């Protein structure tokens, strides 16, 4: 079980909350070029 827990990604609750609030307020913006770049890094 400990090994499984260590595999989980770190969650930054403060960052998640800030993004959640921005989405709710309609102010969250994404950079499509940055998204594409990160997606290509995963391939």
CA pseudo-torsion sign 14, 18, 19, 24: positive
pLDDT of 43: 86
Inter-residue contact 17 to 23 (CB < 8 Å):
no
As for how many domains the chain has, the answer is 1
Taking the model in full, what pTM does it have?
Answer: 0.55
> What domain range includes position 18?
2-42
- Residue 23, pLDDT above cutoff 80: yes
pLDDT of 13: 86
């Amino acid at each position: 079980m400990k090994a499984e827990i260590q595999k989980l990604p770190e969650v930054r609750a403060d960052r998640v909350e800030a993004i959640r609030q921005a989405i709710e307020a309609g102010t969250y913006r994404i950079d499509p070029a940055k998204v594409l770049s990160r997606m290509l890094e995963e391939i």
